[in-house]
Amino acid sequence: MARIIRDAAVPGKDIGLGRKIPGGAAMSELPLLQIAAGRRVRPRKAENSEARPRDRNAEARTQAAVVEWIRLVAPDLIAFHVPNGGLRTKAEAARMKWVGVLAGVPDIVVLGLDGRCWLIEVKVPGGSLSPEQCVIRDRCVAMRIPFVVAKSIDDVRLAFRLWRIETREAKQ
């Protein structure tokens, strides 16, 4: 089989359906052959691509800003981030599942007096809820637990007003 793959990688060779290996493509440049050889292949960027790389920390920065804002304007509340996401080893992911991590749980939990609780799911502009997050949101709404999807601190400000949570900002 290796011989067939090697023979198929000859530049200009017909590979069926009238398609040919590009003339300048060497064996090391063909992604399928690299995969067959057991090497990792990274997708190539388009040469004319002006698209900016995705900011993988944008949501985390918004989450941190929201928690900081809540702690500043409503110090009687307890606000914390639920670290459900992120990259983990398979062993760590299995351990987290074993101890009770639940997919779709909102990013920020806010606890108040008399056992009240509010949930905030932070998304970047243009982001949307995953199917698991939609299930959790729907269950929370059915249980009458306040839940908001926030894309900025202003969204959280509005939610606090709607939830009638007093803040230092509102008192001014």
Query: Which is more confidently placed, 93 or 63?
Result: 63
E strand or H helix that includes residue 155 = helix 153-162
Q: What is the pLDDT of residue 4?
A: 43
> pTM for the complete prediction?
0.68
Q: Judge contact between 119 and 146, C-beta under 8 A.
A: yes
> Is the pLDDT at 44 greater than 80, yes or no?
no
Query: Which is more confidently placed, 104 or 25?
Result: 104
Q: What is the CATH number of domain 58-171?
A: 3.40.1350.10
Q: Judge contact between 69 and 154, C-beta under 8 A.
A: no
Which pairs from 133-138 meet CB under 8 Å and 24+ separation? 133/104, 133/106, 134/104, 135/104, 136/102, 136/104, 136/105, 136/106, 137/104, 137/106
> Is the pLDDT at 105 greater than 80, yes or no?
yes
Q: What is the pLDDT of residue 98?
A: 92
Strand 117-122 and strand 147-150: the pairing is: parallel
Residue spans per domain, the chain: 1-51, 58-171
